[in-house]
Amino acid sequence: MSDNKVNNKLDFRNVKNSQFGGAQTDRMEFSELQSSKRVYHTTPILKDAYTHFIQQTNVDGYPTFVEYWQATSSAKDKLQFSSDVAGSKAGTYIVLQEYLTKRTHVLYYVVSGSGVAPGIGDIETPINIVTNDSAALITYATKLVIDAIDEFTAIQNGLLSSFLEIEYFQFGETSAIDVGTTGFISTRLVNGTSFKVGEVVLEYDVNGHPIYNGSTLKGLLYNPYTASFDVERDEITVTATVDLDPLISKDPTIYNVAMTTANTEYSLVLPLETKRFQMNIQDHKSKYTVSWVSGGAILTKSPGTTYEEQGLEVIPGKDTIYFTGKKNNLTMEIVTWK
């Protein structure tokens, strides 16, 4: 107790006593999610372990808003099937969505060799059936394909059953199955659950220093992975006087290009003297492709990712960017700087 002495008197304010016993404390310290003791450091931002986080960034790539979530249970759907009638299922499809990555799995039907991928999902897998197959046979063929996908499992209650119970292995809420034009019926049996374990809202001063709860944290950078502020990396000090004005991007302009039809090429003519631009699909609804030549080689970007270029020299004849989305009714958000 001598460490608590102040002015030769014991100061008991620094002694912490719990009302719980040792066994109770041990149980509270254990993390079911991590299957281990909670020996990591919590922060004023992060109160518990998280399974994923969602962040928004500014034009410099610094986080301005971060939410941390812990997913706790998975969703389960029931899918009722119907028979094929003279090849009616050819080219029809169902869509399942992963919770964490928001990737979409499109399962489309090929009937006796007829039927092609719709081109609207991140991963598209054929299900081969035969003309006039019964609902039970289509159910079984679908189950075999779903069981081969790591993110889902399917249960068929007997070979003559015409429905599946599909469970999502990734915990958390997810969109219900999209049955498209198959004529199938989807029913949500169990909603997945998750809860927020932390969030942070950040601003930045003119020098790029983060402002947290009204306090400017000079020399620190926010680390979204650990929900903490880390020491900023050393910077190189330039002593020479250089006119950087021609290299500095100014005057941002925002464009919202409507993309009503999937797999259709859209374009935007970049303003001359554009030095930098960023683009992404609004609300991260789909993956997309980018090209600098109409119908030419493409670069494919996953949902939620941003494509950007810097140090550009936009001149007449080389000033147009082309892009396509994989779903209908999308909006491409583009911001340019001169």
CA distance linking residue 121 with residue 85, whole number of Å: 26
CA distance linking residue 253 with residue 274, whole number of Å: 10
DSSP string computed for 87-101? TTTTT-EEEEE-SSS
Q: Which residues pair with 106 in a beta bridge?
A: 95, 124
H helix intervals, the chain: 22-29, 135-147
Q: Which CATH architecture has domain 245-337?
A: Sandwich (2.60)
Tell me the mean pLDDT per 10 residues along the chain, length 338: 57 61 72 62 78 86 90 88 96 90 91 95 95 96 93 89 90 86 93 87 92 91 90 60 56 90 93 87 89 90 87 84 93 90
* Domain layout of the chain by residue ranges: 75-191, 245-337
Q: Residue 2 in contact with residue 14, Cβ under 8 Å?
A: no
CA distance linking residue 323 with residue 329, whole number of Å: 14
DSSP string computed for 132-194? T--HHHHHHHHHHHHHTSTTEEEE-SSTT--EEEEEESS-S--PPPB-TTS--EEEEEE--EE
Q: Specify the pLDDT at position 162.
A: 95
Q: What is the pTM of this model?
A: 0.51
Q: Specify the pLDDT at position 1.
A: 44
